[in-house]
Amino acid sequence: MNVFPEYEQYDGLGLAEMVRTKQVTPAELVEAAIQRLERHNPRLNAVVYSLYDQARTAAQGRLPDGPFRGVPFLLKDLIATVAGVPTGCGNRLLKNLPATHDSELVERFKAAGVIILGKTNTPEFGLVPYTEPEATGVTHNPWDLARSPGGSSGGSAAAVAARLVPLASGGDGGGSIRNPASCCGVFGLKPTRGRNPTGPDAGEIWRGFVVEHVLTRTVRDSAAMLDATAGADIGAPYPAPPPARPFLDEVTAGHSKLRIAFTSRPFLGQNVHDDCVQGLLSTVSLLRQLGHELIEDAPRIDAEPFAVAFLTVVAAECRADIEWAAGLAKHRPSLGDFETATYALGLLGQALSASDYANASRQLQVAAREIGRFSERYDVLLTPTLAQPPVLIGALQPSGSERLLLKLIGTLNAGWLLKSPKVLKPLAAKTFDYIPYTPIFNVTGQPAMSVPLHWNAAGLPIGMHFVGRFGDEATLFRLAGQLERARPWFDRAPPGLVY
């Protein structure tokens, strides 16, 4: 029997309202979600840990009276920890090691009333923009199972797009909420640095690049969850500026004419697919119809030094993650416990000096100042989210020869070889050609969102990327609400999904 067949007709707040008015129970919502997970997850591999027994128990108990009371929810299997449940991070060593406590953000998710049904797939340590980890397998895009859902929050994006849950958590260190949101046709906002808590186990994550939030089918679910979770926790290195009013209020608020810069010029890559350019031009036309001022302009970014500095920081953080994971498992770091590319990147991080890391961080901070000055001239910056429509699974993986080289580097512990531009640049180019826009704003800490406004002739979603001033999620939520009303996407469902 199909429990609550209307389940996918509601967003998270809609389901919570059904619970509040006693039209459905949390237990019925949990069973409806489990039915859909059992039916569709074998094809998608979006969820890698099932917590059905705990979810059923929670649904029968006393739930917090939060805005999402009784709503099924999934957690990305990276950073977000749940007591007694592994946080596998896409890694072989960690996938069976249970966490000792809930992270602060998970506590706030629970206080919002959600019921956690499981954890979603992610690439190893969230390092790449596709979700194909060796430890837990490939996640498939529900719009086309041969294609990637993006990454690193690919499992969460695929689950939300497939209507398994109305919202799921994600983290974003280089675009990892926005990129999969684009690939899967859902809404994904990266909040301002410091908006959501990172404790109790971290202060800055990846030098402050990383922030967690959710992927959703509606703008209002994202806003309401940010209202529920935002705010500094104990010992936070810095708070984001407080909002003037709840973010949920912004979604339906009246709006003024915005000054919006737009560009299709890639900041870090070389080429942008015609479908993504067409999506941008269509969005520019829509925004003009809505009364906004659109100016073709872009911040000046010295791409190659920026990319090298970004990779320097990520490589150092990757090495720290390798040592941390090996320490938890009581192992010495070894090639056999990590994916070849991960281990090689970590060896590069080990080969770098402390001054390499400090100089890269300084260089990125100087670039962020320049971008901040540009942002003062506009309310919003618009680009495509990605440079391509969703790619085929495996398309972004290292080639056979690159794998052999990385394995040799790992076997020889020769991370210094990766410092050669002849080796590093070709490896980096494939990634930055795919994500030429999003990493910039992890460095600056500005809020940014991917909005599902375009589908190409093949029926694949292509997100549009909007960046706000630091601390100004309010403008983004107002604009997103307006776009959602002007060009609705809620009822656009991936093909072949039978509920």
What amino acid positions are annotated as catalytic residues?
76, 152, 176
C-beta of residue 366 within 8 angstroms of C-beta of residue 359: no
C-beta of residue 84 within 8 angstroms of C-beta of residue 102: no
User: Using CA atoms, how far apart are residues 495 and 459, in angstroms rounded to an integer?
Assistant: 9
The DSSP code sequence of 193-226 is TTSS--TTT-SSSTTTT-EEEEEESSHHHHHHHH
Sheet bearing 448-455, strands edge to edge: 47-50, 115-120, 72-76, 167-172, 211-216, 187-190, 448-455, 461-468, 380-384, 259-262, 293-296
- DSSP summary character for residue 249: H
Helix axes 400-412, 421-434, angle to 10 degrees: 130
Kindly list the distances between the CA atom of residue 207 and the CA atoms of 157, 230, 314, 364, 444, in Å, as whole numbers in the listed order.
25, 20, 9, 10, 11
Torsion of the alpha carbons at 313, 316, 320 and 325, rounded to the nearest 10: 90
User: Using CA atoms, how far apart are residues 70 and 112, in angstroms rounded to an integer?
Assistant: 9
Phi–psi pair at 207, nearest 5 degrees = 60, 25
C-beta of residue 189 within 8 angstroms of C-beta of residue 148: no
194 Cβ neighbours under 8 A, 6+ residues apart: 211, 232, 236, 237, 238, 239, 240, 445
Place of tokens 């705990």: 54
User: Using CA atoms, how far apart are residues 139 and 134, in angstroms rounded to an integer?
Assistant: 11
- DSSP summary character for residue 394: T
Name which of 209, 218, 140 is nearest 180 in CA terms: 140
**What does the block give as tokens for 219?**
């703008």
**What does the block give as tokens for 167?**
């919202």
Name which of 168, 205, 208, 215 is nearest 192 in CA terms: 208
User: Using CA atoms, how far apart are residues 261 and 381, in angstroms rounded to an integer?
Assistant: 5
Using the CB atoms, write b or e for 67-90: b if 16+ within 10 Å: bbbbbbbbbbbbbbbbeebbbbbb
Q: Is 365 exposed, middle or buried (0-12, 13-18, 19+ CB in 10 A)?
A: middle
**What does the block give as tokens for 442?**
């992890």
